[in-house]
Amino acid sequence: LELAIASSGGNTSSPLKYGMLYEDIYHSGDGGMYAELIRNRAFQGSSANGVASTARNTAYWHPVGGVTLSIDNTNSPALSSSLPYQMAMTVPKGTVGTVGFYNDGFWGFNVDSAKRYIASFYMRGSYAGEVNFHFQSITSGAVLGSTSAAMNQTTSSGWVQTYSPTFQPSTSASNANNTFYFTFNGTELAGQTVYFNLFSVFKQTFNNRINGLREDLAESLVSLNQAYLRLPGGNNMEGNGPPYEWKWNLTIGDLKTRPGRPGTWGDVNTDGLGLLETMQWCTDMGLTVVLGVWAGLYLDGTIIAQANLQPYVDSVMNELEFLLGDKTTTYGAIRASLGYPNPFTIDYVEIGNEDYLNGGSSSYYSYRFDAFYHTIHAAYPSLHLISTINPSPVTATGGEIDLHIYGNENYFVGLFSTFDQASRKYPVFVAEYAAIQVGSQSGQCGAQTLGMACAEAIFLLGCERNSDIILGTSYGALIKNYNEAPDTVAVIKHTANEILLTMSYYVQKLFADYQGTETLPVTAIGGGFGPLYWSATKSSTATILKMVNHNGSSQTVVVNVKGSSATTATLVTLTASNSSSVNNIPGLGGIATEITTTTISGSSGTFSVPITSAYEILVLSV
């Protein structure tokens, strides 16, 4: 096969080709990106059989020293109206020695002696003495880092917040099998019931932001090199049913004022990683914001009637003023008062999520989309407004469409040419995609194989060839806790102390690291597409050819870059031992992906590129 790459004649590429979808499902926020380590910190709900609810309990908390722990919402005052439940600790009369409790964390705690930690909590009740904070290994029983603070409060003090000093553990734990203890002098508390709420243990965060992101996960995202963040969902923005859509105004401000809610896909959301924290995330990583706004459809099919929709439109307008308005506006002033004096930049707003599902189509077409579109457009004419249905109600006025594409590996291979003939009038975000099954099988498969990754890469080649109209692509889901069943697909899976970069992660990174600003026509001599697929682009510094082999043979491809006199080129290849190879956490096999970067020689812009594996992704940069 010979591939001749023209020096011009293609289309201008979107700068947003590769992006991310963030929503707090499967512990991608709480117990994931959000660096809070305490689980059930403010008793904001519970989850049973994979369904989150408003039922409260003291799950993940355990007594120390003969005390009784219980959930309580009768002994007033509560910490706040948003956090009406508290944990009561009853200390028997005659108690001596240490009392208190420990927390399980999100499947344990990462304890790293090189990092800073800080703990805190609110307590109501009488106590004069020390509180001790420490990590403890379940495996060895060893205390891994300990600090303390003095307390002196009476019942009439009301709720008092106590902070630990910032501390570094004395020892790093070899695994996540650790707990975190809060302990007190039992003699001082004997015979009393005292109340606790809003516990916290933060490990130092990405960019040292207060209430910020888990550092190692954030660094993995920086390295992924993506262009945009779509937030806050996805299904999680929609909510399972009334009244649990994602409400921006309940995710801002003091943590005491954030009630949390039953999230979708099983988790309780604390909303600690709220609107401002996610906007800060975008700012810190230089990401374009694609802001989703709820458009009146719940996952259970409940739809807001036309006559009742206006308050939801008003809420979106308030949110936009909160994010975009200057300090003289009502909501811009609130943002400024929360420490963000400057408006954020937002270019894209998506109206709803998957409104073609759950019976949403007809109301979306007939009134829901219009209500949001016209009101937002009138106030913010330069904002791009994205519809979630194809064909879109936006087509009359121009705008973008968000397509979500999930299917098996073979289906993704077949999508290669899907956009070649698409109308150039309607720009598209594929704001969610993933190959979710091996080969042609059905049934969700979470262990993303090399075969699935190559299929996703072929799909992305098709998007890249058409990136004049395919503005962006983002994988669903971005982050998932490895411990949480079922094992569905995600770009990154994590435990408390490990990060698993899936095959899909490497595909996206490779495509983002090597991308051009315009496509280039390629003439093939001696073969056509399949089982080897390709796409060429050029940047200001290089001509880039991407090739993907999916169940193909080994061969040498002669690549000729027209007009080039180059004698060397960079060749990056991604493969693994076979199509079913998967990446895993170290204890379960580790990373199977093999990425090699070599310099190859050629003459006058012509290079012989060896394809050596049946499943392989190659990037040649000349």
Cβ nearer to ligand AHR, comparing 2 with 354: 354
Token digits of residue 431: 């704001």
Rounded CA separation 28/466 (Å): 31
Q: Which of residues 3-32 bind ligand AHR (CB under 6 A)?
A: 23
Site for ligand AHR in 427-446 (CB under 6 A): 432
Q: Over the range 509-532, which residues count as b (16 or more CB within 10 Å of their CB) and which as e? A: bbbbebbbebbbebeeeeeeeeeb
- Structure-block tokens of residue 444: 């969700």
Distance separating alpha carbons of residues 401 and 392, to the nearest angstrom? 7
* Count of positions on this chain that bind ligand AHR (CB under 6 A): 10
Minimum distance of ligand AHR from residue 231's CB (angstroms): 11
The residue among 169 and 234 lying less far from ligand AHR, judged by its C-beta, is 234
Q: What are phi and psi of 541, to 5 degrees?
A: -120, -15
Report the residue from 131, 295, 463, 477 that binds ligand AHR according to the rule CB under 6 A. Answer: 477
Q: How far is the CB of 294 from ligand AHR (least distance, A)?
A: 12
Q: Quick one: CA torsion of 318, 319, 320, 325, rounded to 10 degrees?
A: 70
Report the phi/psi class of residue 77: left, alpha or beta, with left for phi > 0 and alpha for psi in -120 to 50.
beta
Contact between 353 and ligand AHR (CB under 6 A)?
Answer: yes
State the binding string over 124-143 for ligand AHR (x if CB under 6 A, else -).
Answer: --------------------
Quick one: which of 476, 516, 552, 605 contacts ligand AHR (CB under 6 A)?
Answer: 476
Instruction: Record the tokens describing residue 177, joined without a space.
Output: 């099998």
- For ligand AHR, the closer CB: 28 or 535: 28
What span, in angstroms and rounded, lies between the C-alpha atoms of 401 and 386? 5
Please tell me whether residue 487 binds ligand AHR under the rule CB under 6 A: no
Amino acid present at 302: T
Measured from the CB of residue 486, what is the shortest distance to ligand AHR in angstroms? 13
**Which x/- pattern, by CB under 6 A, does the window 225-244 give for ligand AHR?**
--------xxx---------
- Pick the closer one to ligand AHR by CB: 477 or 496: 477
Cβ atoms within 10 Å, residue 567: 14
How large is the greatest C-alpha to C-alpha distance in the chain, in angstroms? 90
- Write down the least CB distance from residue 299 to ligand AHR, Å: 9
* Minimum gap (Å) between residue 99 Cβ and ligand AHR: 43
Burial class of residue 321 (count of CB atoms within 10 Å of its CB; 0-12, 13-18, 19+): buried
Nearer to ligand AHR, 134 or 480 (CB): 480
Site string for ligand AHR, 187-226 (x = CB under 6 A): ----------------------------------------
Q: Which residue is nearest to ligand AHR (CB)?
A: 476
Evaluate whether 439 touches 412 at the Cβ level (below 8 Å): no
Give the footprint of ligand AHR on residues 503-562 (CB under 6 A): none
Q: Quick one: DSSP state of residue 257?
A: G
Structure tokens belonging to residue 540: 């200001």
Q: How far is the CB of 477 from ligand AHR (least distance, A)?
A: 4
> Which uninterrupted H or E stretch holds 310?
helix 310-324
Using CB under 6 A, pick the residue from 188, 354, 370, 513 that binds ligand AHR.
Answer: 354
Q: Tabulate helix, strand, coil % of the chain (nearest 5).
A: 20, 35, 45
**SS3 label, residue 479:** strand
Q: C-beta of 239: minimal distance to ligand AHR in Å? A: 11
Query: If we measure between CA atoms, which residue out of 232, 291, 293 comes closest to residue 264?
Result: 232
376-405: which residues touch ligand AHR (CB under 6 A)?
A: 404
Shortest reach from residue 243's CB to ligand AHR, in Å: 19
Taking the least distance from each CB to ligand AHR, the nearer of 335 and 368 is 368
Summarize as ranges the residues that interact with ligand AHR (CB under 6 A). 23, 233-235, 353-354, 404, 432, 476-477
